[in-house]
Chains A and B, each alone.
Chain A
């Protein structure tokens, strides 16, 4: 049997499970602050340490976050939901059960629509989204590499214990590593746009596992899947899935069978390795948590949340794509910053269906505006002097030739410092571009007579000398002369002499 035949005959089936730490003031079931970092065991109380007698009280904002996530992804919000206990012993889980949701999650279904790097569309449905609590953090000491194997003892920090955690489970509908990464990216962006999580993989506020199997193309049955863990960036998710697909293909090509198991991603060596087989799986003995009452989600409340969803990234993408022809890198940059995308869309909406304006506004925003913000160490969302309307005015003034690009940049700096309407400033201070041929011709004549050397250079064939002359026209006109007009008048006059 030849390897190439196998390679063509199999397709990958990928499902993603994501854990997202929710951004709330307090933890899921107690009043402790929900903050990343902090000295070990400084954000703890009787409840999140599971002291005898302590009881959980659910965080309403966390419930809201999950429902909003579901609504943003077009899911169904059932009228009832409940919390269950997932029982297993682990030293960093204080109660030795995790409060989670078993058969009545807050969110059912939903779909993540995404765009690939080449702009093509893809989508993957969700099975469910549920709410649970995070565990503490174990640090294994004495093994050198931080692994539990070979360690002499472990330290546990309970600051993270009880942090609200949202679990998103996808259907096994992804067919490539690229799609899995794009799916994750749009999921991440959705939560970023909703403001419900920091979604930082490096801080652990977004963690994901991938279920991977392969099957003959055309088959409707699933092959045995492996669950891949320990991926700490989207890049490693992509690499791990690719490597796992390859490994499974090789196993099958060699006539073997892929056992159902959990595998860990080894970033350094670029391979997955077996962690535990399915036969060692826990019986979690789920049952409804008797410390918590079932949740009733009033339709009016859900509707209220639905109306407050706002812009979601896939819609932002489509509207930006419709509005102007941006390079993929620009589009990614805009999408990645919800405040920036919202700002541009608000600007673009001031002149709907004006592609040139939209393009100019985008260029201004991604160019000079971002540069000035960076220089000032702030962000579009944190500043208030520049508004979509004033950015639009800058773009309009520059596009219509009413001011020179130099004036426009200065104007932008001013507006971003002091606020105000660029159009009014231009009018009030006479900053309008000089485009009257007679007036510019007068300055051109003046410059030609005062710059004999440059004139001679140009006439001797030094094409560059024209630039110096145009520069002089701009200087004399205090930057207001239309530079294209100045250049053409200069050429005309110098040809005549």
Chain B
């Protein structure tokens, strides 16, 4: 019999609710696993053992009192850009090192309410800016499939924790691909909902009009259950959608009959190399084999995605990050005047990528440049949304890669920010259009590694606005038929260094 840390969230919750195992016991097993894995993987910036224990006891009491909790006793990693009251919450930045959140993000609060045990705060690229987790100022997270490689980013800690069985579920956030790309890199399921589905209250903002919280899990069913708990209107977030949420975990299906799946003409995978190209071709064939009608759709403005994103996101970030000034909290480096204090604090507190984006964003919003950059980027964004609208007139779902490659080695992108930005080529257009999308494991690529040690790849499925149920339903059919994410485990679990 396997240990509870290897179980799916669904199985844990069922066992805890049935009284077959206590949340305290689940937590004990989970913490032992974390102790084994952390020296290798480094998924967490801080562990929250006390909080998890307290919560486990509360869950056990609730279950003993006859309550059934949808995620009873499920160990949860919380991306460290989300506030959890009483925990150090850093967004991976020196400027917030040691800052203790005095309140809890709505999405996290809902997960705790549902019975999750918060085991730790997961590493991320500083302020969620990056695609490898290498921009974290506070820790290194390694890919459990190959410790010489990055876990992807920005939600690198979240996906590594779930892949290494350090948590059954993890919260993550996606601005331009920060859930889907790392989920692909670490062979787990990562989903970004429709913009506004999950409250951003308590999520440390990177780019407000793009940031979305979403679930990380090892199965589609787990991700759907977690999404169901987090989704829904929150009066604390003015951009949170006021519409009702249909439960997705009950809409899972076993085939794709009656669904038209669109392949994007502009997203030809030949350029990704023979090996990866073959994986995606096979994935598309499997979709057809499951009963989907495969059609071709066009996203003519997708090629402007990166340029558009790298104006809008930094513009918003330049303003969102202005609050980190040394006045009220976080790092302060004293100076002779308040301006000098600002300058020294921000120079010492922010890393190079964050500074680069603040500079780009400040420039894009400046008088005389605003129309040429910010306004035009917004127009391009509108065009991209209409591209998708037209595409979805001809299909029910879009399928494409979740990232431009498999996980790469540390330092592989060197100092070339654009090479790093290109990792999100396939995920950014959906973010700009606010669409729900997920990454589900779809095969492996050797990239020079020996057989049996290949790296996972992710298939991105995209649905029209608000069609999360359709998205999870189709992903589940694909996952169950192909089992790429279910049967193989990362080598680190078998003691491979």
Contact = CB atoms under 8 A, between A and B. Distances in A.
Contacts of A285: 318-319, 362, 365-367, 370
B238 A54 contact: no
B89 A52 contact: yes
Nearest to B325: A96
Interface string A379-397: 0000000000000000000
A56 B235 CA distance: 10
Contact of A54 (B82, B201, B339, B365): B201
Interface stretch (A85-93, A106-114, A309-317, A421-429): A85-93
Contact of A89 (B201, B202, B239, B342): B342
A95 B205 contact: no
Given A46-B103, A55-B237, A290-B208, A89 B322 contact: yes
Interface string B200-211: 111111011100
B96 interface: yes
A322 B366 CA distance: 55
A53 B205 contact: yes
A283 interface: yes
A287 B319 contact: yes
B322 A97 contact: yes
Given A89-B342, A293-B238, A95 B207 contact: no
Contact of B322 (A49, A51, A96, A292): A96
Contacts of B102: 46, 51
B367 A49 contact: no
A94 interface: yes
B323 A96 contact: yes
B105 A53 contact: yes
B376 to A, nearest CB: 13
B238 A56 contact: yes
A450 interface: no
A285 B201 CA distance: 25
B319 A57 contact: no
Q: Helix, strand, loop or mixed for chain B's interface?
A: loop
A51 B101 CA distance: 9
A50 B362 contact: no
A299 interface: no
Contacts of A57: 235-238
B328 A52 contact: no
A57 to B, nearest CB: 5
A87 B327 contact: no
A285 B238 CA distance: 22
A154 B367 CA distance: 31
Given A53-B204, A53-B205, A291 B239 contact: yes
Contacts of A78: none
The residue in A55, A95, A97, A154 that gathers the most chain B C-beta atoms within 10 A of its C-beta is A55
A72 to B, nearest CB: 27
A55 B325 CA distance: 18
A453 to B, nearest CB: 86
B91 A52 contact: yes
Interface string A46-70: 1001111111111000000000000
The residue in A50, A51, A156 that gathers the most chain B C-beta atoms within 10 A of its C-beta is A51
B359 interface: no
B449 to A, nearest CB: 39
B375 to A, nearest CB: 9
Interface string B104-139: 010000000000000000000000000000000000
Given A87-B365, A91-B338, A94-B328, A52 B238 contact: no
The residue in A49, A57, A290 that gathers the most chain B C-beta atoms within 10 A of its C-beta is A290
A52 B367 contact: no
Contact of A91 (B202, B207, B327): B327
Interface residues of A, number: 30
B365 to A, nearest CB: 4
A56 B239 CA distance: 10
A289 B82 CA distance: 21
The residue in A89, A156, A289 that gathers the most chain B C-beta atoms within 10 A of its C-beta is A89
Contact of A52 (B323, B325, B362, B374): B323
A89 B319 CA distance: 10
A87 B342 CA distance: 15
B83 interface: yes
Contacts of B328: 49-51, 94
B322 to A, nearest CB: 4
A56 B236 CA distance: 7
Interface in B68-84: 81-83
B99 interface: yes
A47 B81 CA distance: 16
Contacts of B342: 89
Contacts of A91: 325, 327, 338
Interface string B179-211: 000000000000000000000111111011100
Contacts of B366: 283, 285
Interface string B203-242: 1110111000000000000000000000000011111000
B372 to A, nearest CB: 14
The residue in A46, A89, A287 that gathers the most chain B C-beta atoms within 10 A of its C-beta is A287
Contact of B207 (A87, A290, A292, A293): A290
A290 B367 CA distance: 19
B255 interface: no
A50 B323 contact: yes
B412 to A, nearest CB: 31
Nearest to A44: B328
A425 B235 CA distance: 57
Contacts of B327: 91, 94, 156
The residue in B81, B236, B239, B323 that gathers the most chain A C-beta atoms within 10 A of its C-beta is B323
Contacts of B365: 87, 285-287
Contacts of A53: 81-83, 89, 101, 105, 200-205
The residue in B105, B200, B322, B374 that gathers the most chain A C-beta atoms within 10 A of its C-beta is B322
Contacts of B103: 46, 51, 54
B315 interface: yes
Contacts of A52: 83, 89, 91, 96, 99, 101, 204-205, 323-324
Nearest to B322: A96
Nearest to A292: B238
A313 to B, nearest CB: 35
Contacts of A58: 238
B329 to A, nearest CB: 7
Contacts of B236: 55, 57
Contact of A287 (B238, B324, B374): B374
Interface in B301-332: 315-316, 318-319, 322-325, 327-329
Nearest to A91: B327
Given A95-B322, A291-B238, A55 B209 contact: no
Contacts of B105: 53
A50 B324 CA distance: 9
B89 A290 contact: no
Interface string B364-406: 0111001000100000000000000000000000000000000
Interface string B450-470: 000000000000000000000
Contacts of A287: 315-316, 319, 365, 370, 374
A51 B328 CA distance: 9
Closest 10 CB pairs of A and B: A96-B322, A290-B209, A290-B208, A285-B365, A52-B204, A53-B202, A50-B323, A283-B367, A53-B204, A57-B238
Given A53-B81, A89-B342, A292-B239, 4 more contacts: A285-B365, A287-B319, A291-B205, A291-B239
5 contacts: A52-B205, A54-B201, A285-B366, A291-B239, A293-B238
